[in-house]
Structures are given as structure tokens and as C-alpha cells.
Structure 1
């Protein structure tokens, strides 16, 4: 009997260690957008990565650092995917795991997306190629709700910061591509309760969220992109930086000559592979992250 009990206890322990901690965020039911079926998760052979699509209810998965390394900084991560899908692994979970190893509590946000069928990536390609006006209409209809989910995420983290051992003044928002559009939507529409303390738009899709005039007292921002981005997002990233710089707000930019689009945590043997380390260095320099031993 004892021989059976020990493996069972180990199995239960292993399951508890790897169990997901999911937070459901509050949201209003849209009148203009409706979804059929549930959220879909699968491996996209088109993007060659794990994706999620047809998100109708915003959630966050929590990635906590070891208590001995936790530094009180937290980051909400918004993966990209054209507002049709989420590149949940290379622009979400892998980023979160890296940050957690550095003592940063990470929250991978699944924000609401354009309603799709079984394969949101395929739907994205077909609609954007065959019916551009419909593509633009669907993007315009859903992005206010995507941004609302980003605002709700920051607000939720700040409300629960003390019980999680987090600092209320070190809550960041990092987003990739369409997630970068959500990042800037959060920056432009935040209230004091939902405003991040720092922003990291990574190859942000500024067509979906155009660059806007910046008011005073905006949080520090680090812009990351590659000049050879095939979607032409380098110019929008430069405009983002300039909007902060011209308003005398705290801004930095890493514009890599090579990297393409959607590099996330995928190694390419290029300097852009180390972008997340440059973010960490920037966070320490801006006193947004406390390094070990400090």
C-alpha cells in the first residue's frame, strides 16, 4: 500500500505545481460583436506556433516568481495576432516564464478578439487578402473591447497588488504587434486606477491604434521594433517614440536593423534575440525593477 501512496502523492504534487492560475476579468457584453462556440487553442501550421482564437471572455494566466526572487514588479503581457488570434507561446507564455525567472510576476492576457471559426489564423489571412474593407470593419469593431480588457487587467492587478506582494507603482504593460496596439490603447485611455507604470510596445501595430497626442505625466515607455519589419511597423514605432520625446516624456527605443516581424522569444541568431534582456536593463536603470541583492 505504501508503495502506491508515495507515487500518488508525488503525482498530486506535480499536478499542483503545474496547475494553471487563471483570473477571469470583468467585462460588459458587447452589442456590436458576438461570438459562437468557445475559445479555440491549437498549433498553427501557418504561424508554426501555438495560438488561441475566438476569445470572448478576457482572462489572465499568472506566472509567479520564486518567493525568494520576487521583486514586486509585475507585467501584463498582451500577445499579438492581428486581433484574430493570440501567439500565446512565443509572445506570451515564454515571455512570462523569462520574466518570472527574473523575479517579475507576469500576467498573460487573453483579450477579446474578432469572432472566428476553428482556425483564426486562416480566417485572418483570407479576410485581409480577399475583403480588406471587411477586415478593417471587424478590427475596428473589436479593438475597443480588447483595450477595455487591457485596462481591466491593470486595474485588477493594482487592486490585488498588496495581497500578491506586488508594488502598486510598478505595474507594466507589454504588448506585441496587435498586443502593442492594445498597449497603446491602454496608455491613451487609462484612468489613475488602470494606468500602467511603464509601457513596452513591441513592433506595435500603429495602423490599428494610431499614434495620438500625448498628455503630460505619461509613464516611461520602451519601444522595440526592427527596421526590416515586413509589415512596415518601424515607422509607427519611431512615431510612438517621437510622440513621447516631443512631449518631454520618458522614452527609449531599440530599433534593430534585422529581426523581421513577430520574433517574440524565437531565437534567430540576431541581436534582436536579446531584446528582453535590454528591457530588463532598462527597467533597472529606470528603477522599475530591483535586481537581486539590492
Structure 2
């Protein structure tokens, strides 16, 4: 008879209970109430994070709106604001390799840029065997009770739901990582350093599981909230107009790195005129001090917000393969 450890038994019990009661499904985003015109097939599987609605809602819920910013009919560039039903959009590979990534797009904590920093990397990774979950997270300027921890609450909950449903997706629970871009890189770095910080009251049995990613990849990430280094817009929306030094430090990811932080892959362009490269340098230094395995790649050119589409013809185009090569050294993928 096979031996089943206690942890596997808990996961199996949780997953069967989850499947029995079903999952809330929020449709993919629409532009002006209409189905989007897209060059590529849209993902049609979503998982709502909170079965009874997101906690700490403001008196008037924000209204989700989608702005299509692209002028190219063959290339979408949607930005979502007012997210009140945080959720995961799922990209399933044809042949799962057992690993999964939670992807948090950027948007300066004002919006969530779902195509170039979410769906595009989701499709790319899924084509290589990874199951990808793109997170539509709540924004701190919308009045949620969790304030600057609201996106972290969604990220923690997302990690736990991915693990509770791991059998449904052919995922090994110990092989769930995180990747984030720009302000979504701050969400990723926050998750990597404060994965066990209580930022919401448990709502069901899934919250007994760990939210720690097995690895983290903050890409051209907002990291510091110190005024001289921070991305000013992200800092203002996250912390308010005049945060104290203590509040700045509490939400500067480098200050929260510990030996329990997972291995990290860092990437930045030195000519980034939006988020200073010092954000990434400080995070790497903190990892080294804490003994956390870290790999960092700096490129002379690339600017900010390049994702995949903005790398064509530049050396920085190598970054996704660099990430995969590093991830394999961590037993991922």
C-alpha cells in the first residue's frame, strides 16, 4: 500500500471539497461592454479568489473598466482599472511539466496591464509546458481596507488556490513560482518576502496552505518606497502622499528579505527611465546578505515595460530564455 503523507492527504481533501462546490467564474475583460477584438485566442478559464467577495470592500465598489490602448489591430494592449473581483486567468499547456507560475502584470498600481505583461508571457510559458495563472489584483487606491497590503492579500490567496487545485492542473505543489513586472514586480517581491505575513483573515481551508513561491522573478520591478529611488506614482498610490519613513521601509521589499525568501531572478535595463535600476540592485544586495540564491541580469538598453514585445532586435530579447535556464538550475520546469 502506498504511503500518503499528511500534507498530500490534506491537499487531496481540500481539492475534492473545492471541486464539489464549484468555482465562481468572472468572464475575461471586455472593452466598453463588448467582447474584445483580439489577434490571438482569449483564455476562457478564470478562478475567482474570494468565494464570498473580496474582503474589506469600500462602501462603493470600484467599477471595472478596460481600456484598449493599442492602435495596432493585430496586437492588444489592454489596461484594467477598478478590479473588485480579483481573479486568476489560466493558461494551460498542452503537456504540463508539473510547474506553475503566478504572473502579476504591472501598471503603476493605477491599473493592471494584462496583455503585454500578462497574457503574452502566459502564452509563451504555456507553450513550454508551464501552467500560468495571470492575476487580476485589487489596487490600493480603490479604498480597500487592507490598504497597501491589498495586492499582497490577493497574491497570497492566489498561491494557496493554485496549490489547492494542483491535481486539477498536473502541478507539483512545491513547484509553484511567481513572476511580476514593474509594479506587479513589487507584488511579486512582496510575496517573496512577506508570504506568511497575515494580511487577511482566513476564509476557508485553502488558507491553511503555504503562500511561499518556490522561486520569484521580479522583472524591472518597483522595489523601494524611499522617495529618492521609488517610482513616484506607485509610491503615492500605495502609501499615500506623505508616508512616514517607517511605512516606506515596511513596503520596501529589500528591507524584508530573509533567509526564507525563495531564490530570485532579477532583470532590469540600465536605461530604464521609469523605475530606477537601483531598485533591483538593492534587492540583489539584500538577497546576498541573507544568503538567498539570486541571479541578476542588467542590460544597457531596453527601457521600461518591454515585456516580450518590446525586446525585438535588442540583446534584452534573451531574457526569457535566461529565466528558463536559471529556473532549471532551481529544479523548476
Instruction: Tell whether the 8 Å contact from 1:199 to 1:222 is kept in structure 2 after alignment.
Output: yes
Instruction: Tell whether the 8 Å contact from 1:112 to 1:142 is kept in structure 2 after alignment.
Output: no
Report the counterpart of residue 55 of structure 2 in structure 1: 29
Identify which of 98, 102, 110 aligns with 2:128.
102
Secondary structure, counterpart of 2:325 in structure 1: helix
Alignment of 1:105-254 (within 5 A): 105-114=131-140, 142-191=147-196, 193-206=210-223, 207=225, 208=235, 209-210=251-252, 211-254=254-297
- Post-superposition shift, 1:268? 3.7
TM-score by length of structure 1 reads 0.78
Q: How well do the aligned residues superpose, as a CA RMSD in angstroms?
A: 2.4
Secondary structure, counterpart of 1:60 in structure 2: strand
Secondary structure, counterpart of 1:215 in structure 2: coil
Instruction: Tell whether the 8 Å contact from 2:216 to 2:262 is kept in structure 1 after alignment.
Output: yes
Q: Distance in 1 between matches of 2:270 and 2:145?
A: 26
Q: 1:183 to 1:139 in 2, by over 3 A?
A: farther
Secondary structure, counterpart of 2:177 in structure 1: strand
Report the counterpart of residue 272 of structure 1 in structure 2: 316
- Post-superposition shift, 1:98? 0.2
1:286 and 2:314 correspond: no
Aligned residues: 248
TM-score by length of structure 2 reads 0.69
Q: Distance in 1 between matches of 2:332 and 2:324?
A: 9
Q: 1:22 to 1:285 in 2, by over 3 A?
A: same
Structure 2 stretches of 5 or more lacking a match?
1-40, 197-208, 226-234, 236-250
Q: Distance in 1 between matches of 2:295 and 2:104?
A: 20
Question: Deviation string for 1:237-291 (max 9, x for gaps)?
Answer: 01111111111111110111111110011134211122111111111122211xx
Structure 1 stretches of 5 or more lacking a match?
1-16, 117-137, 290-294
Q: 1:110 to 1:213 in 2, by over 3 A?
A: closer
Instruction: Tell whether the 8 Å contact from 1:25 to 1:60 is kept in structure 2 after alignment.
Output: yes
Q: 1:56 to 1:142 in 2, by over 3 A?
A: farther
Question: Deviation string for 1:93-138 (max 9, x for gaps)?
Answer: 000000001000000100002567xxxxxxxxxxxxxxxxxxxxx8
Q: Distance in 2 between matches of 1:64 and 1:232?
A: 32
1:65 and 2:93 correspond: yes
